[in-house]
Amino acid sequence: MSDLQPIVFPSLKERVVIITGAGQGIGRVFAKGFALAGARIVIAERNMPKATDVAAEIMQAGGEALAIETDVADPASIERMVQAVGDTYGRIDVLINNAAIFSTLAMRPFEQIPLAEWEEVLRVNVTGVMLCSRAVLPLMRKAKWGRIINMSSGAVPLGRPGYLHYITSKSALIGMSRSMARELGADGITVNAILPGATFTEIERKTVTPEQKARIVAMQCVPRAEAPDDLLGTALFLASEGSAFVTGQVINADGGATHT
């Protein structure tokens, strides 16, 4: 047995954490929460006004943040973002693949989903995760340390009607996380997926009626609506030193609504 080293949890001081789609919602709360844990935050977001607002909030509170315009569906845009992070900090410790086409989606039977919308959702939500993950590899491999966290969904184990492209995209991230974890473990890089339950952010979603919200809460072991802060502890743990032996895992952070 090796000498037991003290683990400071969450030990994120000065770690460089890229959070895609952190201009609003869950990503925004992650950006602020990780900044409070001492990390240097990169908000890689398509919506620049929102990204700069989040960066300003973090900096006003004494944290460190960089907003970089990024389209996760575009390899050239991702390369520019990663290059800028490398030039500024020389390291990338954590990537949270959070950007997705989600809150803007209309619900409809899958036979009515336009093919272009289907393809866009898969491009951003699946291909975007693969592209961002492979772009950060050189710096993570150099450091022999890295954490990739993929935001999947608690709707995958449930199977929710009306969003076939979205649920398909989030299902893909489970297999992707497990397979990437197998490819990257020897490099000290872990890859895990978080399955949030229905999480209520500052963005109003017309697709969840008050009755549906009450039904969702009734399914949970913890009987209250989930907030973005409820996901933060799981993400901080998966980004920390303490999770080095946790990889290829799927963690339901949904108040106990589902068990996989």
Ligand X SMILES: NC(=O)c1ccc[n+]([C@@H]2O[C@H](COP(=O)([O-])OP(=O)(O)OC[C@H]3O[C@@H](n4cnc5c(N)ncnc54)[C@H](O)[C@@H]3O)[C@@H](O)[C@H]2O)c1
The amino acid occupying position 144 is K
Helical (H) or strand (E) element with 234: helix 229-239
Task: Give the shortest CB-76-to-ligand X separation in angstroms.
Answer: 13
Q: Which is nearer to ligand X, 145 or 172 (CB)?
A: 172
Query: Exposed, middle or buried, 69 (CB in 10 Å: 0-12/13-18/19+)?
Result: middle
Interface residue list for ligand X (CB under 6 A):
20-21, 23-27, 45-47, 70-73, 98-103, 124, 128, 151, 153-154, 196, 198-199, 201, 203
Q: Which is nearer to ligand X, 45 or 93 (CB)?
A: 45
Q: Respond yes or no: is residue 166 known to be catalytic.
A: yes
Candidates 29, 42, 166, 226; catalytic one: 166
Q: Which is nearer to ligand X, 90 or 161 (CB)?
A: 161
Task: Give the shortest CB-13-to-ligand X separation in angstroms.
Answer: 25
Q: Which residue is nearest to ligand X (CB)?
A: 25
Q: Which is nearer to ligand X, 47 or 171 (CB)?
A: 47
Residue with tokens 């460089």: 16
Task: Give the shortest CB-247-to-ligand X separation in angstroms.
Answer: 20
For residue 42, which of 77, 76, 101, 93 has the smallest C-alpha distance? Answer: 93
Task: Give the shortest CB-139-to-ligand X separation in angstroms.
Answer: 20
CA 256, 132, 99, 22 dihedral sign is positive
Scanning 126-201, the segments in alpha helix (DSSP H) are: 128-143, 155-158, 164-184
Question: What b/e string do you get for 21-48 counting C-beta neighbours within 10 Å, with b at 16 or more?
Answer: bbbbbbbbbbbbbbbebebbbbbbbbee
3-state secondary structure of 17: strand
Please identify every residue annotated as catalytic: 166
